[in-house]
Structure formats: C-alpha cells, structure tokens
Amino acid sequence: MSIEKYTRSFLKEVEERVEEGHWVKMCMQCGVCAGSCPLGAHWEHTPQKIFMMIRAGKREEVLSSDSMWMCTSCYQCIVRCPRKLPITHIMHGLAYLAKREGLVPKNQPTAQFGQLFWDNLVKTGRVNELKLSLGMYFKDGFSQGIKNAMAMQSVGLGMMKAKRLNPMEIMGGHGIKDKSGFHAMLKKARELEDSRRKLA
Amino acid sequence: MAKKQYSFYPGCSSQSGASSSNYLTSTQSMVNLLDVALNEIPDWNCCGASIGYAGGGELPRVALSARNLALSEQHNPGQEVVATCAACWLATREAKERLDHSATLLAETNEALKEAGLVFKNEAPPARHMVEVLIEDIGYETLKSGVKKPLEGIKFAGYVGCQTNRPFGIDGESFENPMYLDRMVESMGGEAITNYDQKVTCCGGALAFSEPEKSQKQIHDIIESAYDHGADMIVTPCPLCQANVEIYQGEVNKRYGKKFNIPVTYYSQLITVAYGGSSKDAALDGQIIRATRLEEIANK
Ligand code: SF4
Ligand code: SF4
Ligand code: SF4
Ligand code: SF4
C-alpha cells in the first residue's frame, strides 16, 4: 500500500484504515477522556491529544507512539465521552495499524504480548496459558527468560498447587476440534479486512 | 429437566488446569443448586479478549465471536448465550453490536464463517453475563430464600472491576458505583462494604502481565482500600480481576513493602457455600490465598 495517497490527510487515512476511525472527527477536545486512563501517567499523548494530532496530520508521531499500547481496555473513556466516541476501539485500531505499518516502538511489551496471545489462540482455537506465559518470559532470549521465569516462580508454583496452572499444558493442552475450518475462517477474515482497509 | 436453560460460553481461562478453573467448578455447583442448566456451546473457541486487537485486527476478532454465536444458534437454538468471564461477555456482545450496525461487516463475517461451514443468522438476543441471570432472571429475593448457611460475620469488599461494568454494565446500575455485587453479598447473609471506593478501578487487565511495574500500582490500591475498610476478603465477578488481584499480592508486597494476604473469591463461591455446598463444590481448594472464613462455614 502506498502511503502517498494519504500524505495530505492522515485523518482520511484513519477514517478508512482504522477500526472505528470514522469517529475521530467527532471529538470536540473536551479532555474528559484524557483523565480517564488507569495508566495515565505513562501515556506520552492522551487520547484527546492523539485525536488532535491525527487532525494535524502527525502520522509518524502518532503511529510510532507508545501511548496506544498503554490502553488497558477499561472502557472508562467510552462511558464518559460526551460525544460517545468508541475511544478504546480507536486506540486498539491505531495500535494495530502501527503494527501493520511496522511503526511500533521496538520491544514494546504489550505489542509483543498481544501478538503472542493472538498466535497462541490461533494455533488451537483456545488460549494455552502456560505456553503464553513462557513465550512472554522467553521473548528476550534464553537467559533473560530463565531470569524472568525465576522471578515469577512463586506465582507459578502457587498456581500449580491450586491446580490453576497445568504443567502438562506444554504437551498440547486444550483446543477445538475443527481446527482446519477455524484456520480457514481466520485466513479469510484477514484477507477480507486487509483488502477493505488496504493493509496488505 | 432444569427450569432454566442457557447456552453456555465458558471461555479459556475456566478450563481445567487453567487460571479460573475454580470459577467454573463453583459456577457449576451454583447453577445445580439454583436449578439452572448451562449447555456448553459445542467446540467453542477463544473470543480473543481485548488484547486480541494487537495480533488480530477487527474482522478476525469479530469472526471469533461470530463462530461461537453461530454454533450456539445451531446447537442450542432459542437459548440465550451466557458467559461467566467478563471479557468473553464483552467480546461476544460487542461483536454482535457491530454486526447489527454494519451490513459490510456482517457480510464479510459470514463469508469467513462459510469457510468453517457455518452461518450467523443473528437470531439470538445479545449475550448475557451470569450475574444478569442471577439478579434479573432469578432475583435477589429468590436468591436469598434458598440460603441455608448465611455468610454471617464476613466482611466483603465487592470488586466489580471494569468489563463487567463498562461499557455495557448491568441494567439499572451506575458505572461509577454499581451496587449489585454488594446486594448479592447481602442476599447471602454476608456484610457488604458498600463504601469500598476501589470497586470499579481497573486492575491493569492484560497489562498486569506485560507491564507489571506500571499495573501493580492499580492492584496495590485495590487491595489497600479493601484492608482500610476492614474487609475479610474480596469478591469479584471477573476471572482476570480475580487472578490479577490474588496472584500478584506477593509481587506487590515486594514492590511496596506491604504484607497483603487477602483472599479473592468469586460470587459463585459465596452462593455455593451459602446454599450448603461443600468447600470442594465451591472450589475453595483452588484459592492460592485460602478463604478460611468461607471454608469454616462450608465445613460447618
Ligand atoms: S472525551 Fe470524547 S470528545 Fe472529549 S476529548 Fe475525549 S474523545 Fe474528545
Ligand atoms: S479504555 Fe484505554 S483509552 Fe479508554 S480510558 Fe481505559 S485505558 Fe484509557
Ligand atoms: S476472555 Fe479470556 S478466557 Fe474468555 S475466551 Fe476470551 S481469552 Fe479466553
Ligand atoms: S479490572 Fe481491568 S482486568 Fe479486570 S475486567 Fe477490568 S479491564 Fe479487565
């Protein structure tokens, strides 16, 4: 996808390529959402500011920002916004566009975790929590992984004792029966979305 | 046959050997005691939760929920879909809402579902949370009338969290101060701390895992306020909240120099015990921080 088409209007690009992006123009900059994020102190740009930057055409600055990845999906902003913008989903959509455009900051942990989560669920149709956590601990290589896993050992052992983490999951674990239909469905869904949003 | 029949979407975290298996076990005991039947959707898949956005985009995520709904329409016709996990409920409701509003999305979703031999007819009403079944279909009074062992003398901080509360919430409840969890506690004979000020604070969700240093402040505040209000234990309707608030207490203690050690239970465990179920029925053996006061009542 050539980006030239959008250089003049990042707003237009967001409207076409981002989940619920057509809502951005409705923001009246009241600032209510800006005070709503639980991890607010860690947002370089608040949602309010991100909407302003989109209108100002600051494509690189928005998409390469760490901010959207601070969203905990708490939906506080959505219920408070006087204009009813689906802010949570726009944050998710911007983060996803950044990923597809290769603009996510390097080693962004939530971006990495989100991808691991998705890959994990796609494989068998259900999330395997053990593989998911091991994947996260070992994402920075073997020795860091051992360190991370050791640091969280007491948590893991407590979970195992309470039978809420099954070490046998490493062998396979839960999954759906119709994996081939499931995979074909997701492949089709991705193709359709990529072509509609010009993501491919 | 049980009085009420629902199409049940359990979700990944409830499976045996997974982080909220104790939620599923206690839910099953609870519905048996209440004469409600939960008919599992055959071959259901993960809903993608909220964090699925990072890898999945919009349509693949909607397709995940649509597959579950299509399977429910086919195998459990005429039954409402009920979820116990807040994120499952939210994802399923949200997907339907989007499909209701966009003909394009609906057409594309069905094109994708066709690959799995399925079709989504959009016949059923929006998915419901188990809490709605309890308070709307059964009602506080009826719930109360079946109590055999009131949870007398136990003080509960009702931690509602985000996704059981926003954006859909429970009908008639406010987003800032929902009361249903407190009322459920009171129906079971327990003491609800109605002025627990962290009841709708976000625990960090998936970021408790990916950004622990940033999220543990949230978990710290949620627990500290429960202590400040004299709670014996926390009760919650959400499996991710339960896990985050219970299992990271050791980490939070290290980071903040605290000695937190407060049990975090599910409403389904409270009801099971109050209705006379055993510790095992209520899956109290699944707590990492034992809920001794509840165990005492269950073993009485
Ligand atoms: S609350 Fe809504 S209208 Fe106000 S700044 Fe945020 S998005 Fe814009
Ligand atoms: S959903 Fe995301 S953007 Fe909205 S308030 Fe919560 S963290 Fe902020
Ligand atoms: S919300 Fe969590 S547990 Fe529930 S199905 Fe989705 S991923 Fe699996
Ligand atoms: S409090 Fe945080 S984790 Fe718990 S439901 Fe809300 S978003 Fe999810």
Quick one: B16 and B99 in the same domain?
yes
Mean pLDDT is lowest, of A103-107, B120-124, B187-191, for: B120-124
Q: Would the CB atoms of B211 and A158 count as touching at under 8 Å? A: no
Residues B177 and B31 in one domain: no
Examine the domain organization and report whether B288 and B154 are in the same domain. Answer: yes
How many domains, in total, are found in chain B?
A: 2
User: Measuring CA to CA, which residue among B97, B86, B36, B82 is closest to residue B239?
Assistant: B86
Same domain assignment for residues B96 and B195: no
Interchain contact, A95 vs B163, CB within 8 Å: no
Tell me the two tokens of residue A107.
Answer: 């080693």
Quick one: pLDDT at residue B206? Answer: 85
B246 belongs to a structural domain = yes
pLDDT of residue B35: 93
Q: What is the pLDDT of residues B12-43, one digit of tens each?
A: 877 766 777 889 999 999 999 999 999 999 99
Note whether B247 contacts A155, CB cutoff 8 Å: yes
Query: Is A163 exposed, middle or buried (CB count within 10 Å of its CB: 0-12, 13-18, 19+)?
Result: middle
Mutant choice from A36, A150, A164 vs B, greatest count of B C-beta within 10 A: A164
Q: Where are the domains of chain A?
A: 9-100, 109-197
Which ligand is nearest the CA of B20, by number? Answer: 3
Closest residue in chain B to residue A121, using alpha carbons only: B46
Tell whether B107 and B231 lie within a shared domain: no
Beta bridge pairs of residue B37: B5
DSSP letter string, A50-80:
HHHHHHTT-HHHHHT-SGGGG-----HHHHH
CATH number at residue B83: 1.20.1050.140
C-beta separation of A165 from B19 below 8 A: yes
Residues 6+ positions from B23 with CB-CB distance below 8 Å:
B13, B14, B84, B85, B239, B242, B266, B268, B283
**Could you tell me what percent of chain B has a pLDDT over 90?**
84
| pLDDT value at residue B240 | 87
Of residues B60, B65, B80, B72, the one with CA closest to residue B137: B80
* Residues B125 and B190 reside in one and the same domain: no
Pair of tokens at residue B142: 């009826």
Using alpha carbons only, what angle is made at residue A182 by residues A180 and A184, rounded to the nearest 5 degrees? 70
Question: B201: domain CATH number?
Answer: 3.40.50.11810
Domain with B83 in it: 4-129
Given this model, what pLDDT does residue A169 score?
A: 55
CA atoms in the 13 A half-sphere facing the CB of A130: 20
Across the interface, which of A39, A186, A187 has its CB nearest the CB of B207? A39
Domain contains B168: yes
B233 and B88, same domain (yes or no):
no
Q: Is the CB of B209 less than 8 angstroms away from the CB of A39?
A: no
Q: Is there a single domain that holds both residue B257 and residue B182?
A: yes
Q: What is the pLDDT of residue B208?
A: 86
* CA distance to A124, B20, B249, B250, per residue, from B259 (Å): 40, 24, 9, 8
The interface predicted TM-score of the complex, written ipTM, equals 0.94
B168 shares its domain with B219: yes
> Cis before residue A86, ω within 30 degrees of 0?
no
Residues of chain B with C-beta less than 8 angstroms from the C-beta of A96: 53-54, 56-58
Question: Is B230 inside a domain boundary?
Answer: yes
In the 3-class helix/strand/coil scheme, how is A16-34 assigned residue by residue? HHCCCHHHHHHCCCCCCHH
Position A1 scores a pLDDT of 46
Alpha helix (H) residue ranges in chain B:
21-34, 53-56, 59-75, 86-101, 103-114, 130-132, 140-145, 180-187, 207-210, 212-228, 239-247, 249-256, 267-274, 292-298
- Alpha carbon nearest to ligand 4 atom 6, residue: B162
Does residue B135 lie within any of the structural domains? Answer: no
- The predicted-structure confidence for A10-55, as pLDDT tens digits, reads as follows 999 999 999 999 999 999 999 999 999 999 999 999 999 999 999 9
